[in-house]
Amino acid sequence: MSFIELHHVEKEFSGKAGAIHAVADVSLDVEQGDVYGIVGYSGAGKSTLVRLLNGLEKPSKGEVIVRGQNIANLKNKELRSFRQKVGMIFQHFNLLWSRTVKENIELPLELAGVAKNDRSQRANELIQLVGLEGRGDAYPAQLSGGQKQRVGIARALANNPDILLCDEATSALDPQTTDEVLNLLEKINHELKLTIVLITHEMHVVRKICNKVAVMELGKIVEDGQVSAVFRHPQQEVTKRFVQQELQPETNSDEQLIQEFVAANPEGRIVTLEFKENNANEPVISQAIRQFPIDINVVAGRIRRTEDASFGTLTVLLTGDDQAISQAIDFFKLQDVEVTDFE
Ligand SMILES: Nc1ncnc2c1ncn2[C@@H]1O[C@H](COP(=O)(O)OP(=O)(O)OP(=O)(O)O)[C@@H](O)[C@H]1O
Ligand SMILES: [Mg+2]
């Protein structure tokens, strides 16, 4: 049995123009310790899906089973204590502006009836954990976006949850701050053995911290799997678009760079090597140089690491005699590297 299981879950809302199938026949397994990414464009049903995971929404059909418990069967008090063990953070932090950092973090502890001294001690621990030492008495308005999200994370962890749900938690942050918050989430995942389900529309976020990913479109999960597999072999159109978002941004400037390079180096053959089988770390280039009388110049490239694999492309200039070059190309192909000539 998985830690979180969804069996044919549907969520219907009644709208003016009829029923809206926000979540349509979703089945999903999340294992303990996963950092599970859910990506999709606006309106795909991502937020509805995570609200089903903490019992804020009840499924119209199907079952949501968390730690072996069917959430639909939980009564008021059970549901409240269940929710305490599921933390959540949001894009806009949802902090109380009239309360200090420390008071914000203590809020869920107050609601859970924790004694004052214990609350204070726990809040101090959490302030330390999220790297906000010395800022406990500040008000949210005095903090940067990244610091506000750290408060959000500390508050979400107050009652020692074992699941953390993140709904676009880094979407309001700049890239540098996004990475800092992702590093913190990664640390929490490792140190506290927390299972994280994370919604995002940024593949960068998925690549950086998720081990698994599901792609949603029109309420359905259209593709899911290990992040490295999905990045290497995206099947659906929508997935391909998301993956390209991560690999393509520099293509135009690459193209120009390569053109300039070709003009300056009319000799030799320019090829793009595509590493798909987690072999981007292997020294295939230096092996080729050693085995064949050729030179290899890297012209442009994009190698990306997921949590457990490397993949991407390198465009290189091969110089030497024609036979040596074609032998080197055969060698690359033998190493499972795809080779295409640059037009
Ligand atoms: N409470 C509600 N009542 C009616 N319709 C709803 C409700 N909540 C969500 N919906 C509809 O369900 C669909 C999915 O919404 P949801 O918020 O889950 O999408 P999302 O993938 O999170 O989008 P975004 O990226 O914009 O946050 C949308 O068509 C939305 O309008
Ligand atoms: Mg949403």
Q: What angle do CA 256, 233, 163 make, to 5 degrees?
A: 110
Query: Could you give the percent of the chain with pLDDT greater than 70?
Result: 96
Distance 330 CA to ligand 1 centre (A): 51
Q: What pLDDT is attached to residue 280?
A: 63
In what order do the strands lie in the sheet containing 18-30? 18-30, 4-15, 61-66, 69-70
40 touches ligand 1 (CB under 6 Å): yes
Atom 26 in ligand 1: residue holding the nearest Cα:
42
Query: How many residues does the structure list for the chain?
Result: 343
Question: Distances in Å between the alpha carbon of 23 and those of 26, 65, 99, 160, 221?
Answer: 7, 16, 36, 29, 9
Rounded to whole angstroms, how far apart are CA atoms 296 and 288? 9
Distance 89 CA to ligand 2 centre (A): 12
Q: What pLDDT is attached to residue 220?
A: 97
Q: Would you say the pTM of this structure is higher than 0.95?
A: no
* 5-32 average pLDDT score: 94
Q: What pLDDT is attached to residue 78?
A: 92
Atom 7 in ligand 1: residue holding the nearest Cα:
13
Rounded to whole angstroms, how far apart are CA atoms 227 and 306? 7
Give residue-wise pLDDT tens across range 152-179. 999 999 999 999 999 999 998 998 999 9
8 A C-beta contact, residue 102 and residue 127? yes
- For the record, the structure tokens of 202 come out as 């940024």
Atom 27 in ligand 1: residue holding the nearest Cα:
42
42 touches ligand 1 (CB under 6 Å): yes
- Is the pLDDT assigned to residue 250 strictly greater than 70? no
Ligand 1 atom with the smallest distance to the CA of 15 is 4
Rounded to whole angstroms, how far apart are CA atoms 71 and 80? 11
51 touches ligand 1 (CB under 6 Å): no
Atom 2 in ligand 1: residue holding the nearest Cα:
13
- Beta-ladder partners of 189: none
Burial of 15 (0-12, 13-18, 19+ CB in 10 A): exposed
Atom 1 in ligand 1: residue holding the nearest Cα:
13
Sequence-ordered list of residues with C-beta below 8 angstroms from that of 337, at least 6 positions apart, any chain = 273, 274, 275, 279, 284
Ligand 1 atom with the smallest distance to the CA of 49 is 18
215 touches ligand 1 (CB under 6 Å): no
Rounded to whole angstroms, how far apart are CA atoms 295 and 145? 49
- Is the pLDDT assigned to residue 278 strictly greater than 70? no
Atom 18 in ligand 1: residue holding the nearest Cα:
45
Rounded to whole angstroms, how far apart are CA atoms 230 and 26? 18
More confident residue, 320 or 265: 320
DSSP 333: H
- Beta-ladder partners of 70: 65
8 A C-beta contact, residue 213 and residue 37? yes
Q: What pLDDT is attached to residue 16?
A: 85
Rounded to whole angstroms, how far apart are CA atoms 49 and 297? 48
Report the chain's mean pLDDT, rounded to a whole number. 91
